[in-house]
Chain A
Amino acid sequence: MVQPRVTPNPVAEERSGLPGVAGVGLKPAYFDTVLDQNPGLGFFEVHAENYFVDGGPLHHYLGQIAARYPLSIHGVGLSIGGESAPDRVHLQRLGALLDRYTPALFSEHLAWSSHGPYFYNDLLPLCYDNTSLLRVCEHIDQVQSYLQRPLLLENPSTYIEWGDSNWFEPEFVGEVIQRTGCGLLLDVNNVYVSCVNHGWDPLDYMARLPTAMAGEIHLAGFAEDSDALGDRLLIDDHGHAVANPVWFLYQRIIDERGPIATLIERDQDLPSFQLLVEEAAKAQAILDGAMGSRP
């Protein structure tokens, strides 16, 4: 088993509990390979709601892998941006999962998925106004006080803007982080996708995000589409390799902020496990390089 080099970034480590290592998303299709091969990865990440089950093979295999590797638990359905408070039963199940696995990282999205009696199984966009700001902060306070641990909040990828928004997205994220004391899950692919979709400058966007508060980075791929005028519309489908502009932005942020735990995220069209390990190795080389160049 090849251990990745451990590269210190005290700020990110304190926020995340993980050193500057690269990991990959764990899917049941990879369980056997991971247990057989002990790949040299820094951590694995799973979606919380996939493990809201009582028992069986999912917990059995995750338990075995969590005994060997640090774990990150990534919520995809808490609906922090929703109009209703986070669901108590959801919080209870989440709390039980975090107690069971004590993951190094826990994160959720700046988005909403639930409204009324229904769950929409997607990360829907928020209106960035003051009403929304107060509500999101209240929901994050509720989550953090129930779980008794800070969460990392992921910047979203979006396809549309609410006309009533009067905050610029990265500054809204920054304000939420400052008010609630949560950390940032910097999804570099989301930065690129949202900037292309809304005509923003990704470097300006990242400069306005509180990247000093990042405890984890996500890297993923997108699909190309076009809008009604034929302009590029990028779909955050997690079904492709990480694109070059995203690697470029990633290099920039690591050069600026030092090593931060980095996930290769893949949820659609799962490739061979080896391909994901190679993408993680590419991220690890950038993390290691940043260490070498720092004073």
Chain B
Amino acid sequence: MSSQADFTRMLRNNRERLPDHFVTWNRSDPSVRVDVYRNTVLSSLIEVLLATFPVTAAIVGTDFFRAMAGEFVAVSPPTGPVMAEYGRRFPHFIRDFEPASGLPYLGDMADFEMARLTVMNACDANGMEARVFHELLADPDRLLEISIEFIPASRLIRSKFALLSLWQAHQHDSVQNISLAGIDLAQGENALIARSEWTVTALPLSEAGAALCHRLMEGDTLGAAIDKVSPDNAALDETLLVLIQSGVVAGFTHQQ
């Protein structure tokens, strides 16, 4: 076993006996100094997760979040140096994290926050202008035969909980200003996450609208998506409006 392998095993397990590789100038116990590395690795990764999942952390409180994040780091350390990508598996971990099982919406919130970061850093691409949609809308038969290509900066989040309301309630600098009154948690909410002028946005979608959007993102033509989802006219109008306004449509493919 190489010495760097010994070092990393020690970093990952604080009960690991310190190998005899190390010396200190004053003959002090080297394990105290090795703890500095262990603490830096762990705390820096917890800070990364705190920055990526601020509302998830606000919901459970920072102490609980740090403990939960520490457990995640232990079982799921990063496999690359890009910290914007670390945490992709955190929502899944949260769903299985027994001490958080009393907050069934917590995993959805983490999904939502990871999706926001992914959209923020996605490749730049311009959405189509509204004019192109208006031309299409004037030709309903053709409209049903198109499938939509989405820009990279777009994600759909669907939740059985009032996720968007909960997230918005936490957009305050001060904890005192967070009010959860009036939020019906059991009211499912959906959102299309996109970018506008370098800021990440989340546009609400109804249940039928989100289902329709999901089918379109899977590559269905509008006609096929409508057949599967059977949205009413209001849901169809709403979905098309959100797609136009959010600027997430890169282009159309016309399927005969």
Chain A positions within 8 Å of B, measured between CB atoms, are 49-50, 52-61, 76-79, 82-83, 90, 112-122, 124, 127, 159-164, 197-200, 225, 227-229, 231, 233, 235
Contact = CB atoms under 8 A, between A and B. Distances in A.
A119 B8 CA distance: 10
A115 B121 contact: no
Contacts of A235: 36, 40
Interface of B: 2-5, 7-8, 11, 20-34, 36-37, 40-41, 44-45, 48, 77-84, 119-125, 152-153, 195, 198-199
A157 B181 CA distance: 50
B153 to A, nearest CB: 7
A228 B29 contact: yes
B84 A159 contact: no
A57 B79 contact: no
Contact of B36 (A53, A55, A83, A159): A159
B31 to A, nearest CB: 8
A162 B21 contact: yes
B78 A121 contact: yes
B121 A160 contact: no
A229 B26 contact: yes
B152 A50 contact: no
B38 to A, nearest CB: 9
21 contacts: A54-B121, A54-B122, A54-B152, A55-B153, A57-B198, A57-B199, A61-B198, A79-B81, A90-B81, A120-B8, A122-B37, A124-B7, A160-B23, A160-B30, A163-B20, A198-B25, A200-B25, A227-B24, A227-B33, A229-B28, A233-B36
Contacts of B30: 160
A118 B34 contact: no
Nearest to A59: B124
Contacts of A79: 81
Given A58-B121, A161-B23, A227-B32, A121 B5 contact: no
A17 B22 CA distance: 39
Given A57-B120, A227-B32, A118 B25 contact: no
B122 A55 contact: yes
A119 B21 contact: no
B4 A52 contact: no
B20 to A, nearest CB: 7
